[in-house]
Structure 1
Amino acid sequence: MTDIAYELAQVNIARLKAPLDSPRLKDFVDGLDPVNADADAADGFVWRLEDESGDATDIAVFGDSWLIINMSVWRDTDALTAFMYQGRHREMLARRREWFERVEEAMVAMWWVPKGHRPTVAEAESRLLHLRANGPTPYAFTLRTSFPPGGAEPLAGEVPEGLGCPA
């Protein structure tokens, strides 16, 4: 389905309801390493943003200490979707309202990158801002309205009922 010259970058950010070291977020924090290990082993996984601790919880996004970021690169949307909606990730996704504030603006964006490119936080912020201002375009899109690499015609995405946006 996907041109081999491109890979899918995704970013999702979330606004914490409490500090990461609080009892309220213990289950989330305890689940990070196992879910990241599942991602690393998933078919189609290419790369994920991480700091010295092995996750990205200490990486600033939009200069807001209450926002956390997850950014990764996948072979294509099918590989990302297969990972997102199964196993431990699906379980954590179903509990996201316990840990993160509900936000009306786009907190998830995807875009195609040349194979081997590793996006930066600044690039991810730019894609999110573009999606918020313009809706889904080939520059920044969602699973519900995705675009093929280099394409202009959106593809209909299937997102399991009740899961929607991870943030």
Structure 2
Amino acid sequence: MSAGYELAQVNIGRMRAPLDSPVMKDFMDGLAEVNAAADAAEGFVWRLVDGEGDGATGFRFYGDEWLIVNMSVWASPETFREYVYGPAHRPYLQRRREWFEHLAEAVTALWWVPAGERPTVEDAEKRLTMLREKGPTADAFTMRQVFDPPSA
């Protein structure tokens, strides 16, 4: 990977119930542990936090109060993939349908950012919309179809 770029990712979920409900309890109880594992993971660079706890549950995506957002930046697609499918995160990934509705549209988008740049929620909305409208491109792609970073 190019030393001048890092991998940004956004993942959204439409909650089945309010965050303080019994339905979401296990998800919320595990959030600190999953985020700590991300923070300690090889290749982790940054994640979006809202200042109201350990996660970013206070941000809204597409103006929808039932959508929550996870955003982070990683050194490479490989390090991001290792975390996502690793032992700390995989159990929560496997239980996602308990907490989040199945959405027919893409819920995760990846894109390259210049090293040191931190994406905003608005940036993420734009990239996910691009992926939904155009499919994977160099501007917004998936873990299944990764594009190389821009040329130096």
TM-score by length of 2: 0.97
- Between Structure 1 and Structure 2, how many residues are aligned? 150
The unaligned stretches of length 5 or more in structure 2 are none
Taking the aligned partners of 2:44 and 2:80, their CA distance within structure 1 comes to 8
Mapped pair 1:3 → 2:6: no
Question: What amino acid is the match of 2:7?
Answer: L
Summarize the alignment of residues 102-117 of structure 1 with structure 2, pairs less than 5 Å apart.
Answer: 102-117=102-117
Corresponding residue for 1:142? 142
Aligned to 1:146, the other structure's residue is in SS state coil
Alpha-carbon shift at residue 61 of structure 1 (Å): 1.0
Aligned to 1:29, the other structure's residue is in SS state helix
Higher relative contact order (CA 8 A, sep 6+): 2
Alpha-carbon shift at residue 19 of structure 1 (Å): 0.6
Summarize the alignment of residues 1-167 of structure 1 with structure 2, pairs less than 5 Å apart.
Answer: 2-52=1-51, 53-150=53-150
Question: What amino acid is the match of 1:37?
Answer: A
The unaligned stretches of length 5 or more in structure 1 are 152-167
Alpha-carbon shift at residue 87 of structure 1 (Å): 1.3
Taking the aligned partners of 2:83 and 2:43, their CA distance within structure 1 comes to 9
Taking the aligned partners of 2:61 and 2:9, their CA distance within structure 1 comes to 14
What are the superposed Cα offsets for residues 91-142 of structure 1, whole Å, 9 maximum, x if unpaired? 0000001000000001100000000000000000000000000000000000
Deviant stretches of 4+, over 4 Å:
none
Taking the aligned partners of 1:58 and 1:14, their CA distance within structure 2 comes to 13
RMSD: 0.7
Alpha-carbon shift at residue 60 of structure 1 (Å): 1.2
Percent identity of paired positions between Structure 1 and Structure 2: 57
Alpha-carbon shift at residue 88 of structure 1 (Å): 2.2
What are the superposed Cα offsets for residues 9-47 of structure 1, whole Å, 9 maximum, x if unpaired? 000000000111000110000010000000000000000
**Residue pair 2:109, 2:142 contacting (<8 A) in 1 also:** yes
